[in-house]
Each structure stands twice: as C-alpha cells, then as structure tokens.
Amino acid sequence: MPTTVAVAFRFFSLQVVRTRRLGPSLVRVTFGGEELADFRSDGLDQSLSLFLPQPGQRQPVVPIELGDGWWQGWRDLPDDVRAVMRSYTLRALRRNPDEIDIDFVLHGVEPDAAVPAGPASRWAAHAAAGDRVLLIGPSVADNRAIRFRPPADTDLVVVWGDGTAVPAVSAIVEALPAGTRARVWLEVEHRGDVQELTTAADAEVTWLVRAEHGAEGSPMALDAVRRAGLPDAERPYVWIAGESGCVKALRRHFVGERGIDRRRVTFVGYWRQGLTEEELRESGD
C-alpha cells in the first residue's frame, strides 16, 4: 500500500506566450510558465479549469494561499473582484520550452456579434503576450478529467462535437491508433473554422458549417447524424460534447433510436444556449 496518494490536480500560474487566429470564430492561445514542468496529461479530451482576470485587473484573483479553503474564499469575493472560472480543453502540451495550447471559440465577437459574448470569449479575443491566468490542471497524466474512454473491445468510435469540442475531438482523433474505425462529425460556425485533422485511424470526418445551412443548433446535427448510415459494428463507443440541448438530443438518438448500450455513450454538455457557465453549473445540468 503506498503511503502517499498523488494529488492529481493543482493550480498552475501561467502567462500568454502568443495567440494565433485559427478561423473566424476560433483563436489559439499558447501559455507558458515554469510551473508547467509539473503538468502531466494523456491529452484526449483533457479538461481544465481556467481562471481569468476581471476587466482592469492584471491577474486573476483566487485566494490559493488558503489551500483547501480556496474555493470558499473565492466564492466569498465580490463579483467584480473574483476571477472568472471557465472550463476549457488542453489542445496540446509541448516540452522544451514547456507550453500548452487552448483553443477558444469567439462567440459574441465579430463576426458573430449577434450571440451574447461571455467574459472568457472576450478575454480570448483580446489576449496578448504577458497576460496572466491561473488554471487547475493535471499533475498526473491519466486523470478523471479525461472522459474519452472507449472500452477495450470497441469496434467503432463515433464522435460528435460543436466548435467548443473541436479541440477535444482534434486531440482524440489524432490519438486514435491505426486500424481504429471512426465516424466523426464536427459542427462549426464558418467554413473558415474547418481545420485539417491528422490521424492514423480509419476515420471518416464530416464538417457541418452552420453559416451555410442557416440552421440554429441541434436540428442540423441531429438531421445529419440521423441521415448518416453508421458502419456495421457490434460494440460501438460514442462520445458527444457541445451545446447541452444538442448533446442530449444526440444521446437520445444513439441510445433510443440506434439501440447503442448507454454505458458505451460518453456525453458532456460543454455549454448551454442562454446560460452562462455559472448558471449552467448551478442548474446542475
């Protein structure tokens, strides 16, 4: 029996190294910092909790000096002081120098100004080298914030994600070994958001572009997936993430209409139309 238990997650204090626009509604922010030497992750859909400064602050305010009491201390801070906490995905981890990439959807920022912007989206749109953030990330490579876990006997991987899940899906598809059969759908706002995915797997990838269909949310995803024939498989594994109403509808489709064992379906609501992340968390959805 080991006498110590590895602490899987910890705070990392990082700064922006550079940013790169990947498309009209996606920006890649690269972070660096000495503390990344202790960052470990097996990637895939590795999620992170990011803490961002309020407008006018030079760094996010989180009372990490309180140790285990940081959460209560953070919640007790005034609304306009407390750092904004949002969930994001590790897109890439590199060494020499230690860097991580996070890809942000710019909702509510041109050219999608009709959609309400959120503080994280706004922050990412204006991020510049030297900007400071905190994140809670893994110090153990295989950790519970990785949810993509196909059972060993899986004979087909089925994946759907919207723009917020493009980073996770890209990392998942890149990691699929040769010989794996995969059927992948990605739904983005603009043609320019489509990215090249590299994989050794036998993967068929379909990009659905909302601006070209005039469709709002789930009908487009559901229609496309419903119409599609899936390759024959006895033990498929399904991973779905994105807008939570859409994710639920797709899960019902895979379990209810296609008869896939619900234990072989991983589904995660990444955001919900009309709710901020705080409101989504409070709703318990």
Ligand X SMILES: Cc1cc2nc3c(=O)[nH]c(=O)nc-3n(C[C@H](O)[C@H](O)[C@H](O)COP(=O)(O)OP(=O)(O)OC[C@H]3O[C@@H](n4cnc5c(N)ncnc54)[C@H](O)[C@@H]3O)c2cc1C
By CB under 6 A, name the binding residues for ligand X: 47, 86-89, 103-105, 107, 115-116, 118-121, 163-164, 167, 268, 270-277
Give whichever of 104 and 237 is closer to ligand X, judged by the CB atom. Answer: 104
- How far apart CA 262 and CA 236 sit, in angstroms, is 11
Using only C-alpha atoms, the chain has a radius of gyration, in whole angstroms, of: 19
CB of 239 to ligand X, least distance (A): 12
Q: Which residues pair with 237 in a beta bridge?
A: 157
> Do residues 131 and 14 lie in contact, with contact meaning Cβ atoms separated by under 8 Å?
no
φ and ψ at residue 104, rounded to 5 degrees: -105, 135
- How far apart CA 88 and CA 9 sit, in angstroms, is 15
H or E segment at 25? none
Residues 6+ apart with CB under 8 A from 245: 217, 218, 272, 273
What sign results for the dihedral spanned by CA atoms 97, 148, 232, 252? negative
Helix (H, G, I), strand (E, B) or coil at 6: coil
CB of 104 to ligand X, least distance (A): 5
Give whichever of 41 and 89 is closer to ligand X, judged by the CB atom. Answer: 89
φ and ψ at residue 132, rounded to 5 degrees: -105, 140
CB of 232 to ligand X, least distance (A): 31
Give whichever of 46 and 154 is closer to ligand X, judged by the CB atom. Answer: 46
CB of 18 to ligand X, least distance (A): 18
Give whichever of 15 and 273 is closer to ligand X, judged by the CB atom. Answer: 273
CB of 275 to ligand X, least distance (A): 5
Give whichever of 156 and 238 is closer to ligand X, judged by the CB atom. Answer: 238
φ and ψ at residue 57, rounded to 5 degrees: -90, 150
CB of 46 to ligand X, least distance (A): 9
Give whichever of 237 and 271 is closer to ligand X, judged by the CB atom. Answer: 271
**DSSP 8-state assignment for residue 3:** S
φ and ψ at residue 266, rounded to 5 degrees: -100, 125
Give whichever of 86 and 264 is closer to ligand X, judged by the CB atom. Answer: 86
Q: Where are the alpha helices (DSSP H) in 210-276?
A: 218-227, 244-252
CB of 43 to ligand X, least distance (A): 12
Nearest-CB residue for ligand X: 118
